[in-house]
Structure 1
Amino acid sequence: MDERGRLCVGIDPHPPLLRAWGLGDDVAGLREFSLRVVDALAGIVAVLKPQAAFFERHGSGGVAVLEETIAAAREAGVLTIVDAKRGDIGSTMQGYADAFVREGSPLAGDAVTLSPYLGFDSLTPAIDTALASGRGVFVLCLTSNPEGAAVQLARSDDDGATHGVTVAARIANAAGEANALELAAGGNPGADQHALGSVGLVVGATVGDAARRGGVDLAGVRGPLLMPGLGAQGGSAESVRAVVGTAWGQVLASSSREVLGAGPDADALRAAARAAIDALT
């Protein structure tokens, strides 16, 4: 982010976009699309984020393309977040961890997205495995879909008294604690107030004042904030600033359609990405 700016570009090869690029909705089209994006944007953007669902819908061949895309990005020197949104408990969560963040797994990018709604502690196998291999996780916290707030900002009652502690705030607090421990283990906690830990949150670019209303201390997370929704979904640098307040230095804003829609021409993709990066400066 320091070297290349605050932009993450999603690799979202959904059928209409494949057609718009003149490609088939099949494994061959999937591969051509994904590798073109890597080739065009590596060296320009901070992070690429392949959406696992669009690969998995093609079965084993699609998963093989996801593996190839991750490997190509690594070879080109660009970080990847595998957008898989996994969440489970015990040995099953460890299985997901082994797939997406264990060293040597062909599906392991540099980070993975996780769902915490079986309890934040259910993510411990994935967080531990990620940290052991020098990787990270992004935990869903405040998403931009309208129905998300009913769960993410739900308040708990005990004997009729509203505590005012939200699900999202608990997630953010737990992430902050995990990052504090990681940064402390690095040898000199607090020496670099700009250092970020490896447990990040997913916060929608269009959620407005949800963090403030939910009592979510985003700056206290001390981790990166992956913020999808930039561009075609209505998010902008201004809306991102309104969401994060003083946590601007942690922002990694994500755009998919706004950049990918400029393709398939590689120069047009690069120009669209640079425009988005400039807007976030």
Structure 2
Amino acid sequence: MRNLAHEGDSIAFQTVHQTNEYHQDREVVPAFEDIMDVIGSRGKFQKRLNTVFICYGTIVNVLSSQMYNFVMQTPDHWCHVPGREFTNLTLDEWKSATIPKEGGTFSKCLMYNGSALDGASEVPCQHGWEYDDTWYPLTVPSEMNWVCDDMHIVSDVMFYAQNIGAVLGLLFGYMGDMYGRRPLQLACVVMHVVSRVAMLCTPSLLPLFVVAESLGVGVAGVMLESAVSVGTELTGIRNRSCINCMACIGIPIGLVSACLCVQMFPSWKHSLLFAVLCCLILLLFCGGIN
């Protein structure tokens, strides 16, 4: 028993000795965080990168994405009945004489075939529609008259665009893993521009209009994720929470900016052109950050 114990101690001693020799001979590779501490994680490059792509980039990304939701809104509308310009009636008085009521509110799709005082019958809109521009001066549905019998077009476009965009988002995320975050960031900005320009030209071509918006939906989440990933990787551990905070602050700012743009510009086309301009400014920085 004593000999067995002595042999066991010898084996344990040899194992420890071999392990120590292994660690002495092994080259110690520094961690990425250690390298960042040496070269600096809050230098001029990181500050420019975070300011442009985390702050401004997030705002532009959300602005462009949410702008679509606003320009696809359907304002309050009613049948256009010509002849009011030859009277001194107010809008409500004219609507009371020419538009029937449904549930206490004026109908959106019916009008009187004559005067309500004469017991005229109700017929569908014969001369187009009028829209309330209090909140939305001119949107895609109000320009294209996607109301009444065509009101399903709005929900169809948004449904297909969201679903196709979700699939594209998975594809773009995979491309980012394969080719890198920086090329993906550049591609996302370019596709934002292409998407918004294509939407301006294709509202009468519904398949192309859906595909154009699908590009914007697909790159929205990927663009934010890639920017935050690069920002946190190139920032020290103690400052990474600041990167996420900057992105979270940029999201509501972008949403509020989209609301203001819709109110400022008289047409949905002007709103999308403003989004394109903001993306082009961001695109200029893509070549300047090296």
Is the TM value for this pair above 0.5?
A: no
Whichever of the two has the greater Rg, that structure is: 2
Q: TM-score, normalised by structure 2?
A: 0.22
Q: TM-score, normalised by structure 1?
A: 0.23
